[in-house]
Amino acid sequence: MKKYNFKHIMPAVLSSLVILYACDKSYLEVPAAGALSQDVLANKIGVEALLVGAYSLLDGEGSSAGTNNGPWATSSSNWVYGSVAGGDAHKGSDPGDQNLITPIERWNATPSNSYLDQLWQQRFDGVQRSNEALRVLKLAKDISAADVTRITAEARFLRGHYHFELAKNFGNIPYIDESITYAAGNYLVPNGPALAKIEADFAYAYANLPETMSSVGRANKWAAAAYLAKVYMFEKKFSEARALFTAIIANGKTSLGVKYDLVAKFGDVFDIPKKNSAEHVFSVQMTVNDGTGAANANSGDALNFPYGGQTGCCGFFQPSFSLANAFQVDANGLPFLDNSFFNKPIKSDMGISADKPYTPDSTTPMDPRVDWTVGRRGVPYLDWGIMPGSTWVRDQASAGPYEPLKHLFRKSQVGVYTDGSSWTNGFTANNYPLIRFADVLLLAAEAEVNGGGTLAQAMAYVNRVRTRASNPAGFVGPANNAGDVSPTNYKIGLYTSFPDATYAMTAIRMERKLELAMEGHRFYDLTRWGTAIAKAELDAYAAAEVKQGYNTMVGAVYTANKSEYLPIPQTQIDKSQKDGKSVLTQNPGY
Amino acid sequence: MRKFLRLITVPLLLLGLVANAQTRTIKGQVVSATDGKAVAGATISVNGSKVSAITSEDGSFAVNVSGTVTLSVKSVGFSAKTVSVAGDQNTVKVSLTEESSQLNEIVVTGYTAQKRKEITGAVSVVSVKDMKSVPSGTAEQMLQGQASGVTIIGSGSPGEPSNVFVRGITSFGNSTPLVIVDGVQSAPGDLSSFRDLAASDIESIQVLKDGQAAIYGARGSAGVIIVTTRRGRGKASITYESFAGIQTPRTGNVWNKLDPQGMAELYFLAAKNSGAVDANGNVSSPQYGTGKTPVLPNYIRYGTASGYNGAVDLTKYNNNYSKGDIFLIVPANKKGTDWWDVMFDPAGMQSHTITATGGQDKSSYLFSLNYFDQKGTLLNTFLKRYSARINTTYNVKNNIRLGENLYIFYKQNPRIGNNQEGNAVNNTAWEQPIIPVFDAGGGFGGTSGAGLGNSSNPYANQMRQKDNQNHEWVIQGNVFAEVDFAKHFTAKTVFGGNLGNYHGFYHNYRSYENAENGSSNGYGQYGGYNNNYNWTNTLNYSNVFKENHSVKLMAGYEVLKVSGRQVGGSRVNYFSDNPDYLSLNTGSPIGQNNYSDYYKTTGNSILAKVDYAFKDKYLVGLNGRRDGSSVFGPENRYGNFWSASAGWVVSQEDFFKNVKFINTLKLRGSYGILGSISNVGALNQYTLYGGSGGSSYYDLFGTSNSTVMGFYATNLGNTKTGWEKDKILDIGFDATVLNNKLDITFDWYKKTVEGLLFQDQAPAVVGVGSQLPQVNIGDMQNTGIDLGLSYRGKVNNDLSYTVGVNIGAYKSEVVNIPGAAGFFETAYTHNTGPQVRNAEGHPVGSFFGYKIAGIFQSAADVAAWPTMPDAAPGRFKYEDVNKDGKINDADRTFFGNPNPDFTAGINLNVTYKRWDVSTVLYGSFGNEILNETRYFQDFYPQFQNAKSIPLLTESWLPTRTNTKYPIVENNSYFSTNGVINDFYVEDGTYMRIKQLSVGYTIDPVKLKKYGIDKARVYLQGANLFTLTNYSGLDPEIPGSSTSFGVDWGNYPPSRTFNIGVSLTF
């Protein structure tokens, strides 16, 4: 018995241990759960899906960025960096809410402001998703040459877009092509001007993309052309821009083959069911009720809805006094190009509680686009009825009396174009038009003035935009809601002459302000036009706002050779050190 | 070999002889020599035979013997004794001398057990009796202050997991110790198998703190908590233990909030300071009218109007979306609503345990049932747990033992998002006092009117969640078999694990009363399981050569697996909010959402251990382990870990015999290399692609409601990531002094983590939406001391007492951090960005930002100071740290350290005749707290939520300059609360009476007629007093390992009074 124990059990136990151990090497081979490896995607379907993944970051979301300010920091509409910083709007809401926006609004953001880091992260994520499609494309064997070219062109278009977004905001950026990867360890790329490389991406896309695409959301040849021409404008390559714009205006068409044109009514540009029209050169596609809890809606703008009404939360992005005032017109229906509007406030309900009587101004002549851009008390607000004043404003005393309009949804669209599965109604399917045809026409007008064209042609482009705005069928009024009548005295005229280049440029700048207000373009336009123009306008803006009661701008000054660009995020500088020195150079002035 | 065979043949022959002789029964009793009290559970073995017995509760035993025999009597806490029993003697009384120190206590040190005096490593042996005296629903909370070097940070939320750190934080990820309950390992970083143990089931707890935890290899670096549950022994008995009581929350103006009139005046003050006045100097407010001074309105909301004083038509009231537009009528509560009082109420607590135990030489058993029910003082929070345990052992033959430990529990534990912005605790601070709990129509009052802030009615939130449920069933335990063979060998196999199942559902209601309301109702349901098991096979050899050489060997093999799955879904826009109506398929398919995921990791290991002792004087221990894990790539799949330790029992030396004041002294030291993988996910080694509707699908077709599938690189893998090396050097001593009355255990340690596993910190240009892998970068170092003191005093036969003190102190230093930056930031707030910077040369979790040098008093003061954004009189001036004449990001600096200088626990027990008094005190000293709640309370611009009194009475004005509170303004600025600064830092030192109880044991003689062997009744108070200067609710602030001590609104512990009883039948 004992003999048995020792002689047999011991070796049995020991050898079983050894056998178990030896067998178990495969035990440690656990395949990855719920994910795909690269070889599964290295084919046509896989690469096309990676390309869709690159498109999907256009909406400013979907990147798990390392800071948690919310999607508003990365909104595709650039409402913070383009419109609020550009003087179109106040941050809005309560002063303490999202107060990291305030320094951006006051042009003195510090490099550690985490809004900037989040923006940087999201846009570079888009760059790398575009690059990933290019990288895996090279591994795929089953894709036709034509598709290889098309996919390359789409990916480069998107890469150009994401880089351009970074360049507009930060100026000097590292340009990241498909050779830069985490695995290769070659990611410490110095920053500098990147427009030339961005231009090359769009030029490739323009040269290689088909005119019509399989779906409306894809970039086509003409979207690339418009983007390329826009980059030329930033590079001050005006004659190249002029030539290209001429071609676009003559021959450009949407991805579905519809010739570019302005839609008949100004308000229809922003009406959700009318998205992807002839005017929408390239838009970010937004969806609702797609089973994702509103993750593909315009979340970046979800805060920007009147407060206290039925449109959701949170009362951000309130149009500025100066923007509303700029819509005043002279006897000819033309705007005040001498900037006198800054100090000529229109009547508003600032300081007047909603339960106190208020009669809106019905005599001052105003550009009809005002009521599609600035929600004012006493004026119909889409089909939501007459804007009631302070009850729709979160904190009128600190943020002003106006409400935004362009990205809103109509009452009749609730549940169809809005998503109720998240915390606010302000998740809509309203696309953000990155480039629309009116933008193209006005840039073309600038190219005419500066790129060897004629002032007459420039004026014609501007007047084409104004003609559409003057269509009485498109004025705010009964069309919105039965019985609603706008009290505003609408008046809009056409320019009859551009006597010189200076006048022409002043008129064009004003036209861009009015036509593209609240669409995230203004600050970048001002930077593009030069520091002198930017400083003059924004300092005047700050002073005018303070005078009318917006004391957030007290002491705010645009600093030449600094405020043109946001600072490079400090975290990124810190993470990019090589040999004790960062490869990223901070922008001047910070 | 032959010799060996002979060795084991002899006892067998003897056994045969004994069996043939005439047998008789010896009955006896074992008592304590000190007080004559019966000693239960003592082992009596008959020398030269396998016969043994265990004494029952009254100390009695019986053994069958023949002839003259020698009995060996052993019991924990007593010196072993042998007595000779003559052939004609049938009764015997053995009195055992109490061991004066704890040195003979059996301590489980990882796969094996040792006597405490043989230990060469640093092990905290927890006084389970003291621990159990703390009335709590989580074992972590009971452990607080009971083991030196173990830091536990909890809260008052019933069932809330606590932070547990052994010897400080040693990882930027999960720094949670490994838990082993009856030999079953927890999943990495998961304390849940410990948390929900029924306190009465716990037999012993040891915490391995030093390099010897290398026997657990890759999982031992954050310390190992080893729990053994009770097993049956002695006479069959049934014990009923119970306590019940009441927890009382703090009362009064705990947040120091302004009343409605004060809030109104503050609004006017801010407006005036910000220049928001009209030409006549009037301020206009949507609530308080226009004028020089505010007037409280009658209604804060009437339909769309705010600050309403007109006539009210109650028929217009509507708070139901399905009945048309919302029309709220909310009266102002001019006296003020005390939101704290609304939310926090006295709450009951009870625990009942029935335990049946018994054991003979063939088998032992323990059955226990426990019901624990703790209502939270915060509305609709509670912990309710039903648990059952069956532990059994069978001695199949003299050398074969089989057994199992099985624990099953079911619990429900609704909690708030503790210490998170916007939770129920926060909202009691934020909700303005002018807001009533209920409005005029019987609905909830809220912030929906103008100028009332953005918080939500916490009462409404908690009431709406009352129908939400989460159910958990967990089975944990093991089966084991042990075979003794060839005299010195024991082979053991243990298979055990934890199987957790959960399911739950929740409702979202469409609120109407708040400033920010949800847009739809919703209902969701979810469920899943989490599994882990380990199978451990060990072979032990133990022998003593030539009397002086004691050798113990252990070798083993282990496999581990961790896996789980979950699934869930939700829909919105239900026709009815009636909970009985709600199931997923009755919701709208528009906006439906679903998800599932699963995970699996495996590991295997071989391990070995050698302990050698010479004459009980010189002790040496070695152990080693080779671990394999599926989370690493093939190149680095296996890691080796080892430790060496030595001890010298100085008091055994001849030259020490004359030293009278030291009874025993052992010097010891250990060094080990351990690892950690708890931060490495299952996918770390792979570069992977994936996508989801929200993150990578896109509406290419412009449909507005559907998307096309898209993918992206979700994970950037690193196959080179390997094992973290944690090196622990420990030097210490164990001593008994003062006539065996005082035990001292002291350790100095240095814990160096090299190749710390941490997520790579590459710049964003690599695409940070793809998850970066954990890589071996960063080094960290903690040096510290642990000190344990235990004193037993005896005044006379009636009065005796014990005092235990545990002190742990450490200095944490981040030695090296990934990437070029030398730091990483964490604890982001959407208001001011990161608050915490973990940087080289600084303690982990350090607070980082601007240092306030004072308040600007005048324009001249501003001009004289270095250039600073938004500088103005009344605002903070920041220190120009780098002296470059301007204040910018480069001037941010470290201004606080959340790591305590030391933590201390004190246990005191006094016994007087039948009375006993015990108390547990716990304190944390020298740590700092970042009181983030002050960001919301002490600055006006952070929404118009409720504010603190000093804002009105002490804030800076040209006429009130000697103050710490800056000027009250409408906007946030760089120079007020726009960036993180040291305004929020406070001393977090505190000392708390965790438990104080007075008990009385009733004379057993009087109980005999009721069939009760033993009865004790007691009165108890918990969290009776907390001494602290901290201004927030409570200084004990949990967090994560990289950001802790940041107070976002923590559920504070409540003062508790219990009455308890313990009966043995």
**Residue A310: which pLDDT band, with cuts at 50, 70 and 90?**
confident
pLDDT at site A208: 98
Q: How confident is the model at residue B966 (pLDDT cuts 50, 70, 90)?
A: very high
* Alpha-carbon distances, residue B477 vs A234, B111, B219, B402 (angstroms): 69, 16, 20, 14
- Cis, peptide link before residue A314, omega less than 30° from 0: yes
Q: Which DSSP category does A9 fall into?
A: I
Residue A94's pLDDT is: 83
Q: Of the ranges A21-30, A199-208, A326-335, B156-165, which one carries the lowest mean pLDDT score?
A: A21-30
Q: Of B984, B690, B276, which Cα lies nearest the Cα of A32?
A: B690
- How far are the Cα atoms of A67, B38, B143 from residue B129, in angstroms, in the given order? 46, 19, 11
- pLDDT level of residue B102 (50, 70, 90 thresholds): low
Average pLDDT, chain B: 88
- Which of B489, B480, B435, B477 lies closest to B460, judged by CA? B435
Query: Would you say residue B99 has pLDDT above 70?
Result: no
Total beta-carbon pairs less than 8 A apart between chain A and chain B: 430
Residue whose pair of structure tokens reads 């029309």 in the numeric block: B327
B867 touches A: beta carbon within 8 Å:
no
Maximum average pLDDT range among A460-469, B231-240, B425-434, B586-595: A460-469
Mean pLDDT of all residues in B707-731: 88
pLDDT at B267 over 60: yes
- What is the C-alpha separation between A68 and B367, in angstroms, rounded? 50
Q: What is the pLDDT of residue A424?
A: 83
Q: What is the pLDDT of residue B86?
A: 82
More confident residue, A567 or B772: A567
Does the global pTM surpass 0.80?
yes
B557: closest CA of chain A, how far (Å): 6
pLDDT greater than 60 at residue A21: no
Record the tokens describing residue A98, joined without a space.
């999202």
Angle at B176 between CA B762 and CA B164, to 5 degrees: 125
Q: Which runs of E-coded beta strand occur in B437-587? A: 469-485, 489-508, 522-545, 549-572
| Ramachandran region, residue A143 (left: φ > 0; alpha: ψ -120 to 50; beta: rest) | beta
Residue A286 to residue B699, Cβ atoms within 8 A: yes
Q: Is the predicted pLDDT of residue B830 greater than 80, yes or no?
A: no
Quick check: helix, strand or coil at residue B476?
Answer: strand
Instruction: Give yes or no for residue B10 having a pLDDT over 70.
Output: no
Rounded to an integer, the average pLDDT of A463-467 is 98
With CA atoms as reference, the chain B residue closest to A584 would be B763
Is the pLDDT at B154 greater than 50? The verdict is yes
Tell me how far apart the alpha carbons of residues B879 and B981 are, in angstroms, rounded to a whole number: 11
pLDDT in tens, B842-862: 998 899 999 999 999 999 999
| Per-residue model confidence as pLDDT tens digits over B927-962 | 999 999 999 899 998 778 999 999 999 999 999 999
Does residue A16 register a pLDDT over 80? no
Average confidence (pLDDT) over A504-522: 98
On the question of pLDDT at A175 being above 50, the answer is yes
Reported as a pLDDT band with limits 50, 70 and 90, residue B68 is: confident
Q: Which two tokens stand for residue B991?
A: 């000392």
Residue B1025 has pLDDT above 50, yes or no: yes
Q: What chain A residue is nearest to B871 in terms of C-alpha separation?
A: A555
Mean pLDDT, rounded, for B680-701 = 88
Q: Would you state the pLDDT for residue A590?
A: 87
pLDDT digits (tens, 9 = 90+) for A228-270: 999 999 999 999 999 999 999 999 999 999 999 999 999 999 9
Question: For strand B382-397 and strand B237-248, is the pairing parallel, antiparallel, or unpaired?
Answer: unpaired
The length of chain B is 1065
Report which listed range, A416-425, A451-460, B178-187, B868-877, is most confident. Answer: A451-460
Q: Which residues of A touch B573 (CB under 8 A)?
A: 415, 420
Over the stretch A77-86, which tens digit does the pLDDT of each residue have? 999 999 999 9
B909 by DSSP, 3-state: which?
strand
How are beta strands B742-754 and B779-794 bridged, if at all? antiparallel
Q: Among all residues of chain A, which has the CA nearest to that of B692? A: A292
* φ/ψ of residue B502, rounded to 5: -145, 150
- Predicted pLDDT at B279: 83
Residue of B nearest to A398 (CA): B970
Q: What is the ipTM of this complex?
A: 0.94
What whole-number percentage of chain B has pLDDT above 90?
Answer: 51
**Where is average pLDDT lowest: A5-9, B162-166, B382-386?**
A5-9
Distance of alpha carbon B153 from alpha carbon B638, whole angstroms: 34
Name the residue in chain A with its Cα closest to that of B524: A421
Task: Give the range among A152-156, A245-249, B780-784 with minimum mean pLDDT.
Answer: B780-784
Nearest to A66 among B308, B768, B872 (CB): B768
- φ, ψ of residue A346 to 5 degrees: the values are -80, 165
> Higher model confidence: residue A336 or residue B26?
A336
Residue B366 Cα distances to B127, B330, B346, B358, B406, angstroms: 21, 60, 36, 7, 10
Chain A residue numbers touching B710 (CB-CB < 8 A): 49-56
Q: Which of B485, B708, B830 sits opposite A6 (nearest CB)?
A: B485
Binning pLDDT at 50, 70 and 90, where does residue B17 land? very low
Confidence of residue A14 (pLDDT cuts 50, 70, 90): low
Residue B588, pLDDT > 50, answer yes
Q: Looking at A376-385, A447-456, B226-235, B917-926, which range is the least confident one? A: B226-235
* Mean pLDDT value of segment A351-379: 93
pLDDT at residue B1054 is higher than 80: yes
Chain A nearest CA to B1008, separation (Å): 50
A213 DSSP assignment: -
* The most confident of A96-105, A430-439, B461-470, by mean pLDDT: A430-439
> Which of B171, B110, B183, B218 lies closest to B630, judged by CA?
B218
B325 burial (CB, 10 Å; 0-12 / 13-18 / 19+) is exposed
Model confidence at A428: pLDDT above 60:
yes
Q: Give chain B positions within 8 Å (CB) of A21.
A: 557, 604, 606
Cα separation, B1060 vs B245, in Å, equals: 8
* C-alpha closest to that of A245 among A450, A505, A514, A533: A450
Residue B2 is predicted with a pLDDT of 45
pLDDT for the residue numbered A177: 97
Across A433-437, A584-588, B780-784, least confident range = B780-784
Quick one: CA dihedral A471, A474, A475, A479, positive or negative?
Answer: positive
Region A524-547: what's the mean pLDDT?
A: 97
Per-residue three-class SS string for A443-505: HHHHHHHHCCCCHHHHHHHHHHHHHHHCCHHHCCCCCCCCCCCCCCEECCCCCCCCCCHHHHH
The pLDDT tens digits for B986-1005 are: 999 999 999 999 999 998 88
Average pLDDT over residues B176-183: 91
Among B330, B602, B711, B891, pick the best mutation site for testing chain A contact (most A Cβ within 10 A): B711
Q: How buried is A562 (Cβ within 10 angstroms: 0-12 exposed, 13-18 middle, 19+ buried)?
A: middle
The answer to whether the CB atoms of A120 and B694 lie below 8 A apart is no
- The predicted structure's pLDDT at residue A25: 63
Q: Do A52 and B870 touch (CB under 8 A)?
A: no
Contacts of residue B763 in chain A, CB cutoff 8 Å?
187-188, 572, 575-576, 584
Residue A208: partners with Cβ closer than 8 Å, 6 or more residues away: A149, A150, A152, A153
Buried b (16+ CB within 10 A) or exposed e, A515-540: bbbbbbbbbbbbbbbebebbbebbeb
Map B951-997 to HEC letters.
Answer: HHHCCCECCECCCCCCCCCCCCCCCCCCCCEHHHEEECCEEEEEEEE
CB contact (8 A) between residue A292 and residue B483: no
Q: Do B710 and A110 touch (CB under 8 A)?
A: no
CA dist., res. B815 & res. A381, Å (int): 60
pLDDT band per the 50, 70, 90 thresholds, residue B759 = confident
Which value, in Å, is the radius of gyration of the alpha carbons in chain A? 27
Q: Sorting pLDDT into bands at 50, 70 and 90, what band is B9?
A: very low
